[in-house]
Amino acid sequence: MALIAVVWTAMLSFGGVAAETVMLYPNIFGDPPASLDRAREFLVAGGPSDYFPPLGAAVVVSGLAATVLTWRDPRLRWWILGAAAVFIACDFVFSVLFFWPRNEVMFIDPVGTHTPEYLRQVAGEFVAGHWVRLTGGAVTAVLTFTALLRWVRATASVPAPAQPVGAGR
């Protein structure tokens, strides 16, 4: 069950980041600082910061649980451990160290605190760093799905070969 949970949460996380990339990022980062101001006005009732932290925690918890629960199965062990490690490195640690400070500059600090040039620089850094997170999410999703496929193939019952009509008489 933990394997299915980590595949599901990893796919949701990657899909969310991919959707955010094509739907929100052009609007948020298209023309800083004006686009950052519009994003502040638009993302009032909810936004990525409401969705991704709980989902990321679910990926980490289910990934660690799946790692522990599949450890004795060498067909799955390294796929799940690799997925958990990539997600923790690219989506959690990288986000905390790289994205959170930039989010604060762009969306938390009062408007007018930073120069337009600095906001453009920070927004450019954020978008460039985003490719690390997107790639990490893709790798995590592929590794977890590969583990699931390996598990399904290993546990699927193989039907006996069909006998031709009239055989065995």
DSSP label of 45: S
Question: What is the rounded CA–CA span in Å between residue 65 and residue 83?
Answer: 12
Question: Mind listing the pLDDT tens digit for each residue in 22-44?
Answer: 999 999 999 999 999 999 999 88
CB atoms within 10 A of CB 37: 14
Query: What ranges do the domains of the chain cover?
Result: 2-155
Question: Mind listing the pLDDT tens digit for each residue in 43-79?
Answer: 889 888 899 999 999 999 999 999 999 999 999 999 9
What's the pTM?
0.87
The pLDDT score that the predictor gives to residue 168 is 58
What is each CA distance from 148 to 6, 81, 97, 122, 142, in whole angstroms? 10, 13, 31, 39, 10
The pLDDT score that the predictor gives to residue 169 is 56
Question: What is the rounded CA–CA span in Å between residue 110 and residue 76?
Answer: 48
Which position has the higher pLDDT, 159 or 109?
A: 109
36 burial (CB, 10 Å; 0-12 / 13-18 / 19+) is: buried
Mean pLDDT of 162-167: 69
- Per-residue pLDDT band for 83 (boundaries 50, 70, 90) equals very high
Q: With H, G, I as helix, E, B as strand and everything else as coil, classify residue 165.
A: coil
Question: What is the rounded CA–CA span in Å between residue 125 and residue 167?
Answer: 70
Assess whether the previous peptide bond of 33 is cis (omega < 30° from 0): yes
The pLDDT score that the predictor gives to residue 167 is 60
- pLDDT at residue 158 is higher than 80: no
Contact 10, 140 (CB under 8 A): yes
The pLDDT score that the predictor gives to residue 145 is 98
Contact 115, 95 (CB under 8 A): no
Tell me the helices (H) and strands (E) count for the chain, helix number first.
8, 0
Question: Mind listing the pLDDT tens digit for each residue in 90-123?
Answer: 999 999 999 999 999 999 999 999 999 999 999 9
- pLDDT at residue 161 is higher than 90: no
Question: Mind listing the pLDDT tens digit for each residue in 124-145?
Answer: 999 999 999 999 999 999 999 9
